[in-house]
Structure 1
């Protein structure tokens, strides 16, 4: 299986396991800059050179050798599961993608038909019942993850623990896991542990939020989207994420972690 979703600088200064919707655009651009002294012109997910990626065939041997030998500092980044699934909905389901189209072609029409979801459009200023549609989307997300119907689960809403575990199961080891909500603090730990060709000042680095501005703005506080049933579904899907990455299940409005990640526990529980 190898190391899907793994990126590494060309200098092999650092290895990163991508977790979608967890600041991956910013992290990728910082890695690119650390080698080249400039940012990638465009969405870093579209780059095909300047950064080793498992999805690039010519990068796989270098990544596999490095990760299995734990030759470089390896890290990943996590995010509050409530905020992450909401972000997935507003970006991938309600939003228009960078190419001007809906995500995954016929996915949104399928959701409208099978789950009664509404998403509005740029023409009506995305005027729809966000709470009702999000809760129906959550049912769909649970169905894909639990039963793989009506489709396989998408990387943007499948559990973080699933992404993070493939790296461990296939022979990798993390040196650091930090929180999107404490981005500068967590990323600085990474930078303090590696040598970069070009210095990085996190205070001046722009945030690369590639999904921003392509869809509706969230109009309610987080807890308004999650009634009792929704929270039950969230626990069913993301129980491990809450437990391992120390997020507050009881208060959806508390986006901050309530403890530190225990790397030994993560490796033990996700390494089966």
Structure 2
């Protein structure tokens, strides 16, 4: 929770980041806006601009700093904007594969036991380079509880606590730039600009038909069924 939720008391909003849904670009811009007019040493700003740093180094307030009662009060306060950015489950799932599996990032360890179960072997014997996209999709379907997913492929509606937090705005990554002017007004910010990061970009939006067959589509639709329904994403590719 402390990593996913960020609070601005200055601008009265709670933002929930969703991995592989533009969170790095959004966090960088929110941090930039939060620091406007704040006299801080340049070396401090430079040292705290990494959106993937531990949450203690983030430049917005975290739930643990408010305490459970303080955070819950903000969640219930109708004047506080609660918002998140979500993404088409097909392209998000593919982005997770291309970034975390194909590049052998640490998050792959979350999935390796499921791959091993499919292969009848041990997780330590699973080589990331041999994992196909279809195998990855099947492994996602083996998680018995959404809590067990790594955040980079966890179902989004569960991740943002959609049944608990009364969200004011759910913005789709696909239309984020088109909505930035209106979103900026809602948040009381200057017009935001989002610069896509390059370190974790995968170009998955243009590779959907290259990787998805009928079985992959069926599995991802089933695993992320609630995301498709709650966020009104089409089931066709």
Instruction: Please give the TM-score of this superposition, normalised by the length of structure 2.
Output: 0.77
The 8 Å contact of residues 9 and 31 in structure 1, kept in 2 or not, is answered as no
Residue 223 (structure 1) aligns with = 209
Provide the C-alpha distance between the structure 1 equivalents of 2:176 and 2:198, rounded to a whole number of angstroms: 13
Aligned in 2, Cα 1:208/1:221: closer, same or farther, shift over 3 Å? closer
The 8 Å contact of residues 28 and 44 in structure 1, kept in 2 or not, is answered as no
Provide the C-alpha distance between the structure 2 equivalents of 1:152 and 1:201, rounded to a whole number of angstroms: 34
* 1:237 is aligned to 2:223: yes
CA-CA distance at 1:219 after TM superposition = 11
CA-CA distance at 1:65 after TM superposition = 1.9
Deviations 1:77-127 (A, max 9, x none): 111111000011112222244xxxx336x446646644456533xxxxxxx
Provide the C-alpha distance between the structure 1 equivalents of 2:166 and 2:115, rounded to a whole number of angstroms: 41
SS for the counterpart of 1:16 is strand
Residue 39 (structure 2) aligns with = none
Which of 160, 163, 179 is the equivalent residue of 2:172? 179
Provide the C-alpha distance between the structure 2 equivalents of 1:167 and 1:14, rounded to a whole number of angstroms: 16
Q: As a proportion of its length, which structure holds more helix?
A: 2
Gaps in structure 2 of 5+ consecutive residues: 37-44, 120-125
Residue 157 (structure 1) aligns with = 153
Residue 207 (structure 1) aligns with = 196
Aligned residues: 220
Aligned in 2, Cα 1:161/1:209: closer, same or farther, shift over 3 Å? farther
CA-CA distance at 1:189 after TM superposition = 2.1
Which of 91, 94, 97 is the equivalent residue of 1:89? 97
Instruction: Please give the TM-score of this superposition, normalised by the length of structure 1.
Output: 0.68
